[in-house]
Structure formats: C-alpha cells, structure tokens
Amino acid sequence: MSTLITVLLSFFGFIVAYHTYGRWVSRKLFRVDADAVVPAHELRDDIDFVPTERSVIFGHHFTSIAGTGPIVGPAIAVFWGWLPALLWVVFGSILIGAVHDMSALIISLRSRGETIGQSAGRLISPRARLIFLVVLALALSVVLGIFGLVIANIFALYPESVLSVWVAMPVAIFIGWWHHRRGRGLLLPSAIGLAILYLGVYVGAYYLPLDIARILPAESLWLTPVVVWTVILLVYAALASVLPVWLLLQPRDYINSYQLYVALGLLVLGVFAASLSGSADLMASAPAIARDVPSDAPPILPFLFITIACGACSGFHCLVSSGTTSKQLNSESDAQVVGYGGMLMEGALAVIVIVACCAGVGMGRIDRSVGSGGITQYSQVTTEAGQQRAAWTAYYRPTGPDGSPGQWKDHKLQRQLGAFIDGGANFLTAIGMPLKLGIAIMAVLVACFAATTLDTAARLNRYVLQELASSLRIRPLENRFAATLAAVGVAGAIALLAGEKPGTGGLILWPLFGATNQLLAGLALMVATFYLARRSRGVAVVALPMLLMLVMPAWAMTYDLFNNWIPQRNYTLIAFGFTILGLQGWMVFEGLSVYRRIRGVEEAAAQVPPGVAARAAMRAAQQRLATNASS
C-alpha cells in the first residue's frame, strides 16, 4: 500500500496547489487579464503566431516541456533513494517549477511574444539580453544533443518502438492540414490518429521491429545504431523546425498528449492493482535514503537538484513558454492552465517514474532473448517475498566488469531508461497486459516525448540564433534555414563527441544538461524578479527560487569541472562549463548593478521584429481580400 499512498498523496498535493497557490500567483501577483490582446491575435501570421484552442496548446506545451526530462532525471536520481527524489519533485514543481513556467509565459504574452532572453534586455539591461541569448543558445545545443541521444538509445535498445514513433509524423501532418486548412474538428481525427499510433506499437512489438543493427557493420566506430539514429533524428528536427507550427508540431504534440494521458492512466491503474495485490511495495523495493552509495558517486547535494530538472524545475520550460506557447495562447486567462498546470502534470509524471523505478522493478526481473526474425522476446521472473530490493540493486548498484562492487562509472544511461521501461511494464502486467506489449508502450512513450522536445528545441534554438545574429549583425545567421543548420550542427557535435567514443556520452552529458538547464531557470526567475520589481510588487515568490536555482547548479558545475572534467581532460565539457559559469556571473552582476535604479520604473514597450510585422500585415491583407471577395 505504500506505493499507492505515495502516488495519491502526491497527486492530491498537486491538485490543491493548482487551485490555491497557482491561482494566487496568476490572479493576484501577475494579475492576468482575460480581455488583454495577446500576440497570437495581434501578430497572427499563421506560421509562428497562431491563435489556438486551450486543449490543443496545452497538449503542445505539455509534451514539449515533458520530453524525457521527467523520465531520465528521476530514473537516475533514485540512485540516492526514492524519498529525496519524491520531495524535490513535489515541492519543487509546486513552489518553483510551475511559478517559473507561468512567469515566463505571462511576461512573454505582455511583450508581444518575445523570448525571455529578449525581455531581459528591456527589464534588466541590453548587455543582459546578449548574455542571456548566448546562454540560451548553449543550453539549447545541449538539449538537442542529449535528447537526440536518448531517442537514439531507445531505438537501439527497443527496435519495436521505432515504427510507432515515425508513423505519428504523417498522421500529425494530416491532422494539422485537416484542422487548420479545412477548419474541421479535432476529436475524430485525433481518436483515429491515437488508434493508428497504438496499432503501430502492436505491429512493431510483434511483427516489425526496425533494428538497423542488423544492416550495419558489427565493429564500426561510427556506423552504430545510436550514431546513425542520432544523425537521422537531428535531420528530422531541422526539417520540423522550419515548417509552420500548425503543420507538424501542434498536431503531433496534441496526439502525443493523448498518448501520455492513456499511458499515465494505465500506469496509475497498474499501481492500484499492483499495490492492492501486494506485488508492488515501495518501502521494500528500494531504500528511502540510500546509504550504500559508491565512493566515486557525486554527492546528493547539490546533484539531486540538477539531476532531476524537468520533473521539478527546468530552464528549458521558459524557452517553450516564451518561445512557442506565448505565440499561440488564445487568452491570458489560459496562462494558469497551460503554464502552472502543465508543470504540475509533468511533476505527476515524475512521481510515476520514481515509483516505477523502485516499486515497479521490484515486482520482477525481465529477461530478454532474441527470437526468430530478430524479434526480441521478454519473460518476467516474479520476485519472491523479501527479494524486491535485489531487483532494484541490479539497476542501481551494478557490479563492475570484474565482479567488484559497482561504481558510479559503471552506470549507463541505458540502464536507467531500462529501469523505467521495465518497471512501468511490470505495472501494466498487473492489469493483465502482455509483458511484450507493455514494454513496447513504455518505450514508445519515452521516444515520442523525447521527439517533441527535440524538434521544439531545434525551433527555439533557431529563434535564439536569429536574435543573436541580429544583435551582433551576423547577416547569414539571420536566415532561418542557416540558423537551423547551425543549431543542429553544434548539437550533433556535442552528442557524438562528448563521450569516450561516438554516442556514449549520455551519462556524461546529463550533468551538463542539468546544471545548464537549472542555471537557465535561475536567470529566467531573475527576469521575472525584475518584471515584478519594476511594477513595485512583491518579488519573494520568484526571488527565493531564483537564489536556489542560481546557487545549486553553479555549485554542481564547479564540482564537476574540478573533480571530473578537468582531470579527465574532457575539453568539450570544460569549455561549456567555464563559459556558462562566466556568463551567469556576468548577468548576476548586471542585475545587481541596476536593481535599485529600476524599481518602480516600468520598462519600454516591446518592439515587433520587422519580419514578424511584415508577415502579420500580409496575412491581414489576405484576409481582407478574401472577405471582400466573398461579400
């Protein structure tokens, strides 16, 4: 029952927080106005600025911020025990992450759809804008690299997931055309699209696993499944980032949101069934606070706060809120649902991940074998009473190659992903689902949500690089195609060159992603602090989380620099680490130097970029011509 009680109390906390603290921050602190003119209407161009129904934009926003962040982070962090991870997820989501996301969204809504980096220039100083844009570009490059690697690893480990992920793309394009160009409803095509996606899961699991390892050289350094899939995925992200947002991103994220609702519903049912039957026991399966941590492992402080990023607070979310969501929100009144509610939903997913990686894996060991036609077969070895901890230990205390006690260096990203997929599949078997199908559903869930983050990050990095190019007068990069190529090129280099060999840098990249991501959250909360200060409102709600999100990741990155990256001579991570820390220090100095002068003084109004204004004017003219012609 400990598993079920943990989940129910967490979910209850999220619901209460939404209707109390979230409502207060939205209505009293930021004073949302349902009658305010939002950028989607003022600057509508049907490419980036598109008024969108609340349900659709919630799906797009939620799946864009979720990705595999709330999966990989908690799946790694239960290494230190499930209780610290759970507390950070629940309280971090409510008090920090959701406030951060909604703040960035509202500020962008009132700044004509500016990204948070652009707003820093008006709210703090012009230099702060440039610093923030550089941090954004670096952070998004890391996001693209790590999430490309995550999907590539899923495809390589679980080839049954490949078909369903790629089938979702043409289905999404059809739904986008059907809804946007034909003006038809979304319910029926979305239901059909979801059915096709799950049909793809079934066919991929039982009949058509797409395992490219069978056609690649066995001993090649570069032509490995992970490397090839990473390259393919980055090419896809580049193409998706330049298409109109309504054609692929919106409808695919909308379908994926339904997929998540279904998968979460099934997992919650599985938790109920497994808890009531006694087969899932959180207390018996994993330590609440681990005491047998290997000597070479990073300390829980500060690394818990940067390992679990997206499940509690994530700087990447401010980019989604201000980069794409603010350009599509139909009304300011939707900001609490999308911004605050979306983050709490992500926290709920992270809670499920924690119990899956602990109580779920404790239900039984999953063995794999390759059958005829290259189709993987799975079997579950049910755990006997008193043996649940052994299953968790196999994932989180692996023995070394020589049989010695496991060290942190023996951990692989694939192992943590496998803990969530196997643990989640165990929950699904508790409601009668075949193990093979359960594993396929969980693998597709991870890959689909990582894909949404991948192409959204590519689009956001394109925006940021274009803004940087405009500020620095680098004319070639102002072109959206050139900016996109630069974004995915840098991300590919990071993904493929950070490890000991191509495609092995996942666990190395994750601390860099987590620290950079959380520093970005601190800087976004700093912008929100200045926004409120200029209006003479209380800043404690955003300033206290800002301090935590500046100190913890800087501490973690400094630790990694001097204890890991410099001794290992990993020059890629060393360069990123010192650059990010230097930029953070510079921006904090900028803020401290101007804070007293700007309090109570509102910033200048946001300006509309010439390209956006031209597209909006052209679209308005076309609408007038169409109206006149019809009348």
The pLDDT score that the predictor gives to residue 387 is 79
Residue 173 has pLDDT above 90, yes or no: no
- Choose the most confident range, by mean pLDDT, from 3-12, 458-467, 620-629: 3-12
Cβ(453)–Cβ(64) under 8 Å? yes
- In this prediction, residue 291 has a pLDDT band, given cuts at 50, 70 and 90, of confident
Q: Which domains does the chain have, with CATH numbers?
A: 2-630 (1.20.1730)
Residue 530 has pLDDT above 90, yes or no: yes
The pLDDT score that the predictor gives to residue 114 is 86
Residue 481: exposure state from Cβ atoms within 10 A (0-12, 13-18, ≥19)? exposed
Residue 372 has pLDDT above 70, yes or no: no
**Count of C-beta atoms within a 10 Å radius of residue 501:** 12
Distance CA 175, CA 186 (A): 8
Task: Give the angle subtended at the CA of 561 by the CAs of 96 and 306, to the nearest 5°.
Answer: 20
How many H helices and E strands in the chain? 26, 2
Distance CA 553, CA 313 (A): 12
φ, ψ of residue 387 to 5 degrees: the values are -110, 10
589 DSSP 8-state letter: H
pTM of the model: 0.89
Q: Which residue has the tokens 């192409």?
A: 455
- Choose the most confident range, by mean pLDDT, from 13-22, 362-371, 427-436, 510-519: 13-22
Distance CA 305, CA 300 (A): 8
Residue 374 has pLDDT above 80, yes or no: no
Token code pair at residue 374? 């290259």
Distance CA 336, CA 519 (A): 24
Within 13 Å of residue 544, how many CA atoms lie on the same side as its CB? Answer: 7
Distance CA 174, CA 172 (A): 5
Min mean pLDDT across 39-53, 198-212, 374-388 is at 374-388
Distance CA 169, CA 225 (A): 21
- Which comes out higher in pLDDT, residue 64 or 199? 199
Residue 511 has pLDDT above 80, yes or no: no
Distance CA 30, CA 28 (A): 6
Residue 499 has pLDDT above 80, yes or no: no
Please enumerate in sequence order all residues whose Cβ is within 8 A of that of 397, keeping only pairs 6 or more positions apart, or say none.
292, 294, 405, 406
pLDDT tens track for 539-564: 999 999 999 999 999 999 999 999 98
Cβ(78)–Cβ(358) under 8 Å? yes
Task: Tell me the average pLDDT across 442-453.
Answer: 83
pLDDT tens track for 386-436: 778 888 888 888 776 666 666 776 666 677 888 999 999 999 999 999 999
- Cα-Cα-Cα-Cα torsion 520, 524, 529, 531, nearest 10 degrees, comes to 160
Cβ(72)–Cβ(416) under 8 Å? yes
Task: Give the angle subtended at the CA of 10 by the CAs of 9 and 11, to the nearest 5°.
Answer: 95
Distance CA 91, CA 313 (A): 10
**Count of C-beta atoms within a 10 Å radius of residue 536:** 11
The pLDDT score that the predictor gives to residue 316 is 87
